[in-house]
Structures are given as C-alpha cells and as structure tokens.
Structure 1
Amino acid sequence: MNLRWPGARLGLLLGCLGFVAALRCEAQGNLIPNHSFEEYDTCLAVLGFYTPNEGPLHWFSASGSPDYYQSCVGNGAANGIPQSFYGYQFPQDGEAHVGMVTYQQQYGLREYAMVELLEAMDPGETYYASFWASAGWNGIKDYPQHYVAASHVGMLFTVQPRPWTIGDPWPTAGNSAHVYHPWIIADTVGWTLVSGSFVADSAYRYLMIGNHFDNATTDTLHFATYPWMPKAYTLIDNVCVSVAPDGCPMATGLMDVAVDEIHLHPNPAAGELHLGGVPVGAQIVIHDATGRLIWEGRGERNAWNLDVSGWPRGGYVLRVMQTRSHRTFKFVLIE
C-alpha cells in the first residue's frame, strides 16, 4: 500500500490508552512519518522522485526531483550509499537519506521534498523542529554541477500540499521559513543539526523542506571551480517535529550576544588571520572547501591570531560554537 501522496496516510495511535484528562500522546512524539526515509515500496536504482511510484513512503516532490539514496541499491549506484553520483555520505540515521538542489546560480531554482504531518498543528502551540543536513560533494557523475555549499536550508510548514510534476512552473522562493540555518552548511563529512522552535499561527499539516530563500539572500561557498553551471546540493536525514521541548534534538537556541559580536579580518587573508570578540571557552573549528577539518581549538582570550601562511590557498569555513549558539564565517586565503 502506497502512503506517500498527500491525503493518503494512516493515522497512528500508539499507546493512547490513558484517561481523557491525559495529555495528547500523539503530540509527544515525532509528527513526521518515515522521518529517516527507511520505508519504501521498491528499492530502485534511480535518481529522483516525483510521484507515488518513487521515493520514500509518505514523501513527495514539491519542486523538481529530490533524490532518494538507499543502502539497498549498493555502493557506487546513482543513488547508492555511501558513493553516489552526487556525493559520498553515510546516512545520519538508518540506511537511507534524501538530497536536493538548494541553490542554482543561473535561475535560482530550488528542489523541495514535502510530507504530510501525522496530525495538524494547533494554532498558538509551540513546536520544536529539527533535521540533519550535509553538503553533497565528491560524487562520481561526469561533469558535476553540484560544487557549491549554501545557507538557509530549512523547514516551511503549510496548510495545503504543494505537489509538483514535470511541466509545472518552478515555485519562487518566498524568503521565509519557520526553521532554517542562516549559515552555510559546508561540512561534507559529518552532519549538521538544524533546529529551532516556533509558535504555529495556522493549522499547518504539511512540511516542505529545502532552501526557501532566493539567491540574493543565500550565502554560498564554492568547493571547486568548473566551467558549467554551479548548484548547491544538500543531503537531508532524520527529520523531526514535536510539541514536546525534548521531542526533537535541538542545537541552536537564542543567539548569545557575545557570539554575535565576533569579527574576523582580514578577508581575504594571506599570512595571518585575526579573530576578535571570541567568548572564553567557545569551540572553534575550521574546515576547508572539501569539508575536511583543518584546525580546532578553544577560545582562551578575547582576540587571537592564527598563522595560516602554510595553508593551501582557497576557501575555508570557520565556526565558533557555544552550548546554545554558533556563528559561521567563510574566508579565503590568497597569495
């Protein structure tokens, strides 16, 4: 039985045998069916899903052709795990994940995956939401277009479904989302937790995941320089929405003022990088453009200098992290 198209879903009633006065049990768990994309009808060695005959159960395309990666199709297949056409990555959870275009330079096109929640949201209620994301890179497809990392990947909730099929116009980014990551997701090795909370202002029933911001708002980082059209590609796994504060993993809370006041210069840099306004004890990590960890340490003083004269020239991502917040910078080393 196929459960992936809007409206074709089974209600879940797990453990709701308490008294009438008890809290709604279904609201305490994850409202996303097939949250880590493990359930499917057929193990297909093919990229892209649009319709009820493709992709993970419950999920459908809201723009373009999101891709479904499965361990069952084998390493090195177009949608294989870990090696695929568009990247090399193991799932964050289970044996599958999805991927989609989150930035396209020429026309600003976006791909979105959509799912119906197990129950509609209650207006006025606070909801907690999260997912894991990784930048797609090191694929084996000839002439890869996905060599950019992008910011603003996130979650938009809607009252009605927005199914997309071939021939439909591409949706325009509305520059708003309920939960999103304002910094570039450039880690190609690990997974980045994107999370947040919001008060529902409508009886939202659907989740649409991807980059809901236009090119002018989206920050990018190029992993390489190729002559063909650049795109950013982001892998998604382990999606969660809950009314319970501890129902989903949460990483980012309110931005600490101290973290918000960090500044980095010069940029571009050549021999030395200066970082000011660093909170004592904050974790600092630097990755290169391929996602490799280059340097890490702890903030021991408000300002410090880092000798980068021996580092390869190119783009880097620096992240300063505290318990409830983090900030990401991109910088370039030149001759």
Structure 2
Amino acid sequence: MYRFLLLLAFGATSLHVYTQENLVPNGSFEEFIDCPVSTTELATNCLPWETWQLTPDFFHECGEVNAGVPDNAWGSQEAFHGSAYACFITYETIDESREYMATALTSPLEVGEEYRIEFSISFVDGGLKSGNLAATNNIGFRFFQDPDYDQLNELQPDNFAHFNIDTLVIDQTNWLTLEVFFTADQPYDYIAFGNFFDDENTEVWNINSSGYAVAFYYIDAICVQKSEFPSCYPVNVVESSSLDLNFIYSTGQLMISGLDGKDSLISVYTVEGKLLSHRESNDSSVIFEDLPSNGIVIVQAVVGEEVISRKLFLQ
C-alpha cells in the first residue's frame, strides 16, 4: 500500500503529545564525515549506511560540483528534507547491475507489530548521463535478518521485495513520497533499498539511447516506525499566504499563536527528522516546552486545510 502524499489526521478538541523513534539511523543523510567531493561516497561518508552492490551516491549542499545539492553529476534536485540525499542505480545494461544501499535498524522489528515505512524518491534528469538515461519500475525496499552482504559478497536480484513500485517512475521535477504499512513476520534488523528484480522482470524505458543505458533515482527522508506514530519528516510545502502564525521562543519554550481556534496539528522536528514533540489543538495558540536550548528545529503546522513548514533557529 502506498500513497503519493503523506496524509495527516487530527482531532477537533483533544491535545496529545507523542514521542517516537525512527528505526532508520540517519534516514535523511544529514550526518556525515566530510562534504562529498564525488559520487560513490554513501557508504564511506554517510554512516551507518552500507553498500551491498556497487557504490550508491551521497549528495549534500556543501558538496563539490559533482556531489552537490541541488546540482550534481546526475542532474538537479532540491532535497526533500534538510540538505542532503542519496542516489542509487536501478538498472544498467551491464550484467544486470544494481546498487543496493542498506542499514541496520536501531532495534529489530517486533513480530506481529504493524510499521509505517516512508521514503521519497525522484527520477534524475540525467546530468552527465543525459544521453544514456533510462527509467524503471520495481524501486522498493526489503527487510533482512542478520544479513552478511557487503561489496565482496554482493546481493543479487532474486525477484523478491517486501515492497516495490510496479510502474515506471518518470517524474524528474517532484519528489514522490510513499507510505507503506507492513506487519513484521520476523524480527528483521536491516533494511535495504533498490531494485530487487532481474532484467527479465523489470520494465525499462530507454529514454535517449538504444544502446547503453542506466537508471538513477534520488532517495531521501527514510523512516521506519510503529504505525501509531505520525510522519517522521515534515512535508515540504509552500507557505500559505492566508496564515499569519507567530513563533516566540524563550529558554526551551516555544509558543505558536495565530491558529484562530482552527483544528490544528503542530509538529516540531530536528533537522535530522527526529520528532521532538507533536500536538493537536483547536485553541488559538499552543506551547511546546523542554525544547533544545539552542540549535535548529523545523516546525510543521497543519491548520485547517493549510500547511506550512518553517525552520527556526533557537538561541
């Protein structure tokens, strides 16, 4: 099951506070060792991510010309969340090549528990490969228990995934955000992303070439959490001009006013996508306490039918 937009639900009269943990560490690729200078640096620069075949990419706003955001070797795209994203190959006309990026979960899935898996993808517009670009289906994820794959013992496509998109993904402008619900049947402790299907079972559209072709996809904002929790990552939207919210911060306390008594859902996140606090209200204002004394947070406000996201510098 997946949807193209994340759906946020809220109540009319209650006020609740939630805490959550994203089981995917560094799911928006904001934590890294050094600014990337080239492609291929995900597993060496953006820990704890691993590569299970070839060399997935890590791109960041601070990166050099071929490893930047928005512009990099494979095209141009703003980050869905924060300042970075990853990229992997889903098809190449060389020995069924794939790139698989994987990471250990912070704790194993609990058997019988339902989880929400979220991630956002975007088809590259080509860049250095614009003359050899292809698009595919079958982009998805797969859970593993105690895997032993690495660059010396590579994972090979075997036509099984816990989730895959069965249609071509060809949007080069927007991020496609997917929400999948999965009930754990084993205590999985790893998740991997890529195309787990062989060429015979993969639909390929060679856009500009009848010979060599390669398909790349950007990926960002990956989250695995129990299904009762809200989204890990704020949705990037354009601020509505009809909302006039005021944000006042003082010593760990943030007051947001201007809600006008409308049904509202307010979430405060770190830039890494960790939810700090989450509230539902129909008052004219809400107050968040025990926030960091300094640093950057992202506030997402759903007020009636309108949504804004704002980055705040706390000090």
Pairwise mapping of residues 162-311 of structure 1 onto structure 2 (< 5 A)?
162-165=148-151, 168=152, 170-225=154-209, 227=211, 229-248=212-231
Query: Offset of 1:47 from its aligned partner?
Result: 1.2
Distance 1:120 1:189 in 2: 35
Distance 2:166 2:224 in 1: 19
User: 2:237 matched to which residue of 1?
Assistant: none
Query: Offset of 1:219 from its aligned partner?
Result: 1.4
Query: Offset of 1:94 from its aligned partner?
Result: 0.6
Query: Offset of 1:232 from its aligned partner?
Result: 0.8
Query: Offset of 1:171 from its aligned partner?
Result: 2.6
Count of aligned pairs: 216
Query: Offset of 1:58 from its aligned partner?
Result: 1.5
- Give the counterpart of 1:73 among 38, 42, 63: 63
Distance 1:183 1:175 in 2: 15
Query: Offset of 1:146 from its aligned partner?
Result: 5.1
SS of the residue corresponding to residue 62 of structure 2 reads: helix
| Deviating 4+ runs (over 3 angstroms) | 143-146, 245-250
- Give the counterpart of 2:117 among 112, 129, 145: 129
Pairwise mapping of residues 307-326 of structure 1 onto structure 2 (< 5 A)?
none
Equivalent residue letter for 1:147: L
Distance 1:40 1:145 in 2: 31
Cα 1:145–1:106 change in 2 (3 A) is: farther
Distance 1:29 1:244 in 2: 12
SS of the residue corresponding to residue 39 of structure 2 reads: coil
- Give the counterpart of 2:38 among 27, 40, 46: 46
Aligned 8 A contact 2:52 2:153 in 1: no
User: 1:55 matched to which residue of 2?
Assistant: 45
Distance 2:63 2:94 in 1: 33
Equivalent residue letter for 1:104: E
SS of the residue corresponding to residue 76 of structure 2 reads: coil
Query: Offset of 1:235 from its aligned partner?
Result: 0.7
TM-score (norm 2): 0.63
Distance 1:188 1:162 in 2: 34
User: 2:86 matched to which residue of 1?
Assistant: 98
Query: Offset of 1:162 from its aligned partner?
Result: 3.9
The answer to whether residue 104 in structure 2 is matched with residue 120 in structure 1 is: no
Query: Offset of 1:118 from its aligned partner?
Result: 1.2
Query: Offset of 1:224 from its aligned partner?
Result: 1.5
Cα 1:67–1:50 change in 2 (3 A) is: closer
Query: Offset of 1:179 from its aligned partner?
Result: 2.1
Equivalent residue letter for 1:114: A
Which consecutive residues of structure 1, in runs of 5 or more, have no partner in the other structure?
A: 1-24, 251-335
Normalized per residue, the structure richer in strand is 2
Which consecutive residues of structure 2, in runs of 5 or more, have no partner in the other structure?
A: 1-17, 234-315
SS of the residue corresponding to residue 216 of structure 1 reads: helix
Cα 1:145–1:63 change in 2 (3 A) is: farther
Query: Offset of 1:240 from its aligned partner?
Result: 0.9
User: 1:17 matched to which residue of 2?
Assistant: none
Distance 1:180 1:164 in 2: 22
SS of the residue corresponding to residue 101 of structure 1 reads: strand
User: 2:298 matched to which residue of 1?
Assistant: none
User: 1:153 matched to which residue of 2?
Assistant: 139
SS of the residue corresponding to residue 73 of structure 1 reads: coil
